[in-house]
Structure 1
């Protein structure tokens, strides 16, 4: 019985030592980084518009044009341009006080921020020309997007992986080896740059010129750049 136990212990120790030696044997592998990049034209433009109440008689602070009137003008203009109602949203509401030089009680004026989503920029000036220019405090480019960016991201990632595989293949084969299975895939960098460089010749129609033809905006913008880097480890056979 003692001999059997001794033999079993010896076999266990031997198998454990063998397993440790196998585990310690280094895996022959190669790690490479694949890259891919694509540029697309933005097709969603988010324009910030701020409307502000004002007095027709600024000197005497009389005949106030309310934010409701200005908002109605904007909504009707957006509707006339064929833009969906849900593409115009409220971004915020603010207010401020004005003081008359004749020391009348201060009056409260309201301002309201909107975000207008456009698929094209050329009709921006036309839309704003139908809103009383004295009530338009400012406009700005809030952001631009590409509607199919998630699909593009997937495609760019796949291309980055294939680029990594191609690199690893010719490097290993150059040394007489053969590329094996994938060991690790790691996404190490994402790039989604949407810089907008634009210049605008905004033609804001004055009240007396309401209804006059307005030239389209003169706008220029850069493409959206989507890039990925994928780090991949392959076994060397």
Structure 2
């Protein structure tokens, strides 16, 4: 009797299991017809934030005899006043480093003199402001002045716009590809940001003779700094339903 009951249970299971499997298969949703494309957009903008590295150093008016030293505080006051006269806020100038060097004239007759140096970061809206500012600082006290970096005050807004343009480009591409096979574009299914590329080119100084090479303020010429535009580009991938 027990053998008959066990056999019946096995037969029942063998019959019901395939039936359940077939029901599950019939309820599966057919795959969505879709198209995936990538869109690209780029924007070029002229920098409105230019950061200069400016280094001041002490020196002697009588270099041979090491007399009449012009101290760093005097040079710094000249620079601060020049920045203010240019209409720039106090925050435009900040100290980035302090150092110095030994000034050797004749080791046998006179000991080495330590001369202090100080580095600053100056933020301006255009490169031509630099010559006007440095022309009010003693030329022998300016060790060097060069561009450290450039940027734009509305960079984040530009990035958003480029992303939007890249996504629009992806939709346009998908539309004409689907239309080519007599189909219509449906709703968007997925958006992915593929990559970001922002190029910050460094300005190139066309003249070697800067403010530090001038003998007087009258020798300063108009700035010949040339720089490229900032390039912002994005690539966006999107998937659309095909109706």
TM-score in same-fold range (> 0.5): yes
- The structure 1 residue matched to 2:68, chosen from 40, 63, 69, is 63
State whether residues 123 and 216 of structure 1, in contact with CA within 8 Å, keep that contact through their aligned partners in structure 2: no
Q: 1:205 and 1:123, CA in 2 relative to 1: closer, same or farther beyond 3 A?
A: farther
Partner of 1:126: 132
Q: 1:139 and 1:14, CA in 2 relative to 1: closer, same or farther beyond 3 A?
A: same
Partner of 1:232: 238
Shift of 1:61: 2.3
Partner of 1:175: 181
1:29 aligns with 2:34: yes
Unaligned runs of 5+ in 2: 1-7
Query: Normalising by structure 1, what TM-score?
Result: 0.85
Measure, in 1, the Cα distance between the counterparts of 2:190 and 2:162: 18
Unaligned runs of 5+ in 1: none
3-state SS, counterpart of residue 225 of structure 2: coil
Equivalent positions of 1:196-207 (< 5 A) are 196-200=203-207, 202-203=210-211
1:39 aligns with 2:44: yes
Equivalent positions of 1:1-237 (< 5 A) are 12-18=20-26, 22=28, 26-103=31-108, 104-195=110-201, 196-200=203-207, 202-203=210-211, 209=216, 212=218, 214-237=220-243
State whether residues 39 and 224 of structure 1, in contact with CA within 8 Å, keep that contact through their aligned partners in structure 2: yes
3-state SS, counterpart of residue 179 of structure 2: helix
Once the two structures are superposed, residues 53-82 of structure 1 have per-residue CA deviations (whole angstroms, 9 ceiling, x without a partner) of 112222232222211111111001111111
Once the two structures are superposed, residues 115-173 of structure 1 have per-residue CA deviations (whole angstroms, 9 ceiling, x without a partner) of 11111222211110111111100010111111111111111110110010010011011
Query: Normalising by structure 2, what TM-score?
Result: 0.83
What value does the CA root-mean-square deviation take over the aligned residues?
2.7
Measure, in 2, the Cα distance between the counterparts of 1:232 and 1:170: 14
State whether residues 180 and 235 of structure 1, in contact with CA within 8 Å, keep that contact through their aligned partners in structure 2: yes
3-state SS, counterpart of residue 175 of structure 1: coil
Aligned positions, number = 230
